[in-house]
Chains A and B, each alone.
Chain A
Amino acid sequence: DAGVIQSPRHEVTEMGQEVTLRCKPISGHNSLFWYRQTMMRGLELLIYFNNNVPIDDSGMPEDRFSAKMPNASFSTLKIQPSEPRDSAVYFCASETGVGDTQYFGPGTRLTVL
Protein backbone atom coordinates (compact mmCIF):
# COMPACT_ATOMS: atom_id res chain seq x y z
CA ASP A 1 0.00 0.00 0.00
CA ALA A 2 1.18 3.51 -0.74
CA GLY A 3 1.97 5.60 2.29
CA VAL A 4 1.17 9.25 2.78
CA ILE A 5 2.15 11.20 -0.32
CA GLN A 6 3.32 14.79 -0.20
CA SER A 7 4.30 17.21 -2.94
CA PRO A 8 6.47 18.98 -3.68
CA ARG A 9 9.36 17.44 -1.74
CA HIS A 10 11.34 20.65 -1.92
CA GLU A 11 10.17 24.20 -2.49
CA VAL A 12 12.29 27.31 -2.74
CA THR A 13 10.45 30.59 -3.10
CA GLU A 14 10.88 34.26 -2.50
CA MET A 15 9.34 36.21 0.30
CA GLY A 16 5.83 37.36 -0.54
CA GLN A 17 5.04 34.49 -2.89
CA GLU A 18 2.18 32.05 -2.37
CA VAL A 19 3.13 28.49 -1.48
CA THR A 20 0.83 25.47 -1.71
CA LEU A 21 1.74 22.14 -0.16
CA ARG A 22 -0.21 19.02 -1.03
CA CYS A 23 -0.98 15.79 0.77
CA LYS A 24 -2.69 12.52 -0.09
CA PRO A 25 -3.43 10.46 3.03
CA ILE A 26 -3.44 6.69 3.24
CA SER A 27 -6.66 5.31 1.81
CA GLY A 28 -9.18 4.57 4.53
CA HIS A 29 -7.61 6.89 7.08
CA ASN A 30 -10.14 9.29 8.57
CA SER A 31 -7.83 11.83 10.19
CA LEU A 32 -5.21 14.04 8.60
CA PHE A 33 -2.63 16.21 10.33
CA TRP A 34 -0.32 19.01 9.18
CA TYR A 35 2.88 19.55 11.17
CA ARG A 36 5.81 21.94 10.91
CA GLN A 37 9.27 20.97 12.12
CA THR A 38 12.16 23.30 12.90
CA MET A 39 15.30 22.85 14.95
CA MET A 40 14.19 25.48 17.44
CA ARG A 41 10.58 24.47 17.97
CA GLY A 42 10.56 20.79 17.11
CA LEU A 43 7.46 19.18 15.61
CA GLU A 44 4.40 21.41 15.93
CA LEU A 45 0.84 20.54 15.01
CA LEU A 46 -0.67 23.18 12.72
CA ILE A 47 -4.13 21.75 12.04
CA TYR A 48 -5.93 18.45 11.87
CA PHE A 49 -9.02 17.16 10.10
CA ASN A 50 -11.36 14.33 10.99
CA ASN A 51 -13.60 13.08 8.18
CA ASN A 52 -12.55 16.12 6.10
CA VAL A 53 -13.70 18.58 8.79
CA PRO A 54 -11.13 20.84 10.50
CA ILE A 55 -11.16 19.96 14.21
CA ASP A 56 -8.36 22.02 15.70
CA ASP A 57 -6.52 24.83 13.90
CA SER A 58 -5.14 26.49 17.01
CA GLY A 59 -1.62 25.73 15.84
CA MET A 60 -1.91 27.72 12.65
CA PRO A 61 0.53 30.57 13.23
CA GLU A 62 -1.47 33.37 11.65
CA ASP A 63 -3.92 34.29 8.92
CA ARG A 64 -1.27 33.79 6.27
CA PHE A 65 -1.74 30.05 6.74
CA SER A 66 -4.82 28.19 5.53
CA ALA A 67 -5.64 24.53 5.03
CA LYS A 68 -8.37 22.69 3.19
CA MET A 69 -9.49 19.12 2.78
CA PRO A 70 -12.04 19.03 -0.04
CA ASN A 71 -12.29 15.24 0.00
CA ALA A 72 -10.97 12.20 1.83
CA SER A 73 -7.97 11.79 -0.44
CA PHE A 74 -6.53 15.30 -0.71
CA SER A 75 -5.50 18.21 1.47
CA THR A 76 -3.62 21.45 0.91
CA LEU A 77 -1.73 23.82 3.15
CA LYS A 78 -1.33 27.29 1.74
CA ILE A 79 0.91 30.12 2.88
CA GLN A 80 0.18 33.55 1.44
CA PRO A 81 2.28 35.64 1.57
CA SER A 82 5.29 33.55 2.58
CA GLU A 83 8.01 34.89 4.86
CA PRO A 84 11.57 33.67 5.59
CA ARG A 85 10.49 32.53 9.09
CA ASP A 86 8.14 30.03 7.42
CA SER A 87 11.17 28.04 6.28
CA ALA A 88 10.80 24.56 7.78
CA VAL A 89 9.92 20.98 6.93
CA TYR A 90 6.17 20.49 6.67
CA PHE A 91 4.84 17.00 7.33
CA CYS A 92 1.45 15.56 6.63
CA ALA A 93 0.30 12.53 8.63
CA SER A 94 -2.81 10.38 8.64
CA GLU A 95 -4.39 7.85 10.97
CA THR A 96 -7.36 5.50 10.90
CA GLY A 97 -9.17 7.15 13.78
CA VAL A 98 -8.90 9.53 16.67
CA GLY A 99 -6.02 8.65 18.94
CA ASP A 100 -4.63 5.94 16.71
CA THR A 101 -1.13 5.60 15.26
CA GLN A 102 -0.13 8.39 12.90
CA TYR A 103 1.77 7.68 9.71
CA PHE A 104 3.90 10.46 8.32
CA GLY A 105 4.58 11.48 4.75
CA PRO A 106 8.12 12.24 3.53
CA GLY A 107 7.71 15.96 4.18
CA THR A 108 8.14 19.13 2.13
CA ARG A 109 11.25 21.16 2.81
CA LEU A 110 10.28 24.80 2.32
CA THR A 111 12.85 27.55 1.97
CA VAL A 112 11.65 31.14 1.74
CA LEU A 113 14.36 33.56 0.63
Chain B
Amino acid sequence: QKEVEQNSGPLSVPEGAIASLNCTYSDRGSQSFFWYRQYSGKSPELIMFIYSNGDKEDGRFTAQLNKASQYVSLLIRDSQPSDSATYLCAVNTGGSQGNLIFGKGTKLSVKP
Protein backbone atom coordinates (compact mmCIF):
# COMPACT_ATOMS: atom_id res chain seq x y z
CA GLN B 1 0.00 0.00 0.00
CA LYS B 2 1.62 3.23 -1.16
CA GLU B 3 1.21 5.96 1.43
CA VAL B 4 1.89 9.64 1.84
CA GLU B 5 1.94 10.94 5.39
CA GLN B 6 1.54 14.49 6.64
CA ASN B 7 1.00 16.01 10.05
CA SER B 8 -2.61 17.18 10.00
CA GLY B 9 -1.86 20.24 12.13
CA PRO B 10 -3.07 22.80 12.58
CA LEU B 11 0.30 24.48 12.27
CA SER B 12 0.13 28.00 13.58
CA VAL B 13 2.85 30.56 12.81
CA PRO B 14 3.00 34.35 13.27
CA GLU B 15 2.97 36.62 10.27
CA GLY B 16 6.45 37.05 8.84
CA ALA B 17 7.78 33.76 10.20
CA ILE B 18 8.89 30.69 8.25
CA ALA B 19 6.32 27.89 7.97
CA SER B 20 7.73 24.40 7.53
CA LEU B 21 5.50 21.65 6.18
CA ASN B 22 6.67 18.06 6.02
CA CYS B 23 5.71 14.94 4.12
CA THR B 24 6.99 11.36 4.02
CA TYR B 25 6.20 8.71 1.44
CA SER B 26 6.46 4.95 1.44
CA ASP B 27 7.27 4.07 -2.19
CA ARG B 28 11.02 4.35 -2.72
CA GLY B 29 10.43 4.32 -6.48
CA SER B 30 8.54 7.62 -6.38
CA GLN B 31 9.78 10.02 -9.01
CA SER B 32 7.94 13.32 -8.77
CA PHE B 33 6.57 15.31 -5.91
CA PHE B 34 3.99 18.06 -5.77
CA TRP B 35 2.70 20.57 -3.25
CA TYR B 36 -0.88 21.78 -3.63
CA ARG B 37 -2.60 24.51 -1.64
CA GLN B 38 -6.30 24.24 -0.88
CA TYR B 39 -8.28 27.10 0.58
CA SER B 40 -11.41 26.20 2.51
CA GLY B 41 -14.22 25.34 0.11
CA LYS B 42 -11.96 25.56 -2.94
CA SER B 43 -10.13 23.09 -5.14
CA PRO B 44 -6.44 22.19 -4.81
CA GLU B 45 -4.05 24.37 -6.79
CA LEU B 46 -0.45 23.54 -7.59
CA ILE B 47 2.23 25.54 -5.79
CA MET B 48 5.40 23.66 -6.68
CA PHE B 49 6.77 20.41 -8.01
CA ILE B 50 10.20 18.87 -7.52
CA TYR B 51 11.87 15.91 -9.18
CA SER B 52 15.49 15.97 -8.00
CA ASN B 53 17.14 15.80 -4.61
CA GLY B 54 17.88 19.16 -3.07
CA ASP B 55 16.10 22.48 -2.92
CA LYS B 56 13.91 24.26 -5.44
CA GLU B 57 12.96 27.86 -4.81
CA ASP B 58 10.08 29.88 -6.24
CA GLY B 59 9.52 33.25 -4.65
CA ARG B 60 8.70 32.77 -0.98
CA PHE B 61 8.34 29.01 -1.42
CA THR B 62 11.10 26.39 -1.24
CA ALA B 63 10.55 22.70 -1.81
CA GLN B 64 13.12 20.29 -0.43
CA LEU B 65 13.49 16.66 -1.46
CA ASN B 66 15.53 13.88 0.16
CA LYS B 67 14.89 10.62 -1.66
CA ALA B 68 17.18 8.61 0.62
CA SER B 69 15.03 9.58 3.60
CA GLN B 70 11.80 9.53 1.52
CA TYR B 71 11.04 13.00 2.74
CA VAL B 72 9.80 16.14 1.04
CA SER B 73 9.12 19.49 2.66
CA LEU B 74 7.77 22.93 1.81
CA LEU B 75 9.11 26.09 3.41
CA ILE B 76 7.13 29.31 3.23
CA ARG B 77 9.20 32.38 4.06
CA ASP B 78 7.68 35.65 5.31
CA SER B 79 4.35 33.89 5.92
CA GLN B 80 1.25 35.98 5.26
CA PRO B 81 -2.32 35.53 6.55
CA SER B 82 -3.26 34.78 2.92
CA ASP B 83 -1.09 31.65 3.15
CA SER B 84 -3.56 30.17 5.65
CA ALA B 85 -4.83 27.05 3.91
CA THR B 86 -4.42 23.29 3.83
CA TYR B 87 -1.29 22.11 2.04
CA LEU B 88 -1.44 18.77 0.29
CA CYS B 89 1.64 16.73 -0.56
CA ALA B 90 1.28 14.47 -3.60
CA VAL B 91 3.60 11.81 -4.95
CA ASN B 92 3.78 10.18 -8.36
CA THR B 93 5.45 6.79 -8.41
CA GLY B 94 6.16 7.06 -12.12
CA GLY B 95 6.16 4.40 -14.79
CA SER B 96 2.95 3.86 -16.70
CA GLN B 97 0.84 4.88 -13.74
CA GLY B 98 -0.16 8.48 -13.96
CA ASN B 99 -1.98 8.85 -10.72
CA LEU B 100 -0.89 10.95 -7.78
CA ILE B 101 -1.16 9.72 -4.22
CA PHE B 102 -2.15 12.56 -1.89
CA GLY B 103 -1.48 13.04 1.78
CA LYS B 104 -4.38 14.20 3.91
CA GLY B 105 -2.89 17.66 4.18
CA THR B 106 -1.54 20.00 6.83
CA LYS B 107 -3.68 22.94 7.87
CA LEU B 108 -1.61 26.11 8.18
CA SER B 109 -2.79 29.16 10.08
CA VAL B 110 -0.79 32.40 9.85
CA LYS B 111 -1.69 34.80 12.63
CA PRO B 112 -1.45 38.57 11.98
Residues on A facing B (Cβ under 8 Å): 31, 33, 41-45, 48, 50, 55-56, 91, 95, 97-107
Contacts and interface: CB of A to CB of B under 8 A. Distances in A.
B5 to A, nearest CB: 11
B69 interface: no
Contact of A43 (B32, B44, B92): B44
15 contacts: A31-B98, A42-B103, A43-B44, A43-B104, A45-B101, A55-B98, A91-B43, A97-B98, A98-B97, A98-B98, A101-B34, A104-B43, A104-B45, A106-B42, A107-B43
A107 B42 CA distance: 8
B19 interface: no
A43 B43 contact: no
Contact of B94 (A42, A99, A102, A103): A99
Contacts of A102: 34, 46, 100
Contacts of B101: 45
Prevailing SS type, chain B contact patch: loop
A24 B96 CA distance: 24
B105 to A, nearest CB: 7
A100 B34 CA distance: 10
B21 interface: no
A106 B41 CA distance: 9
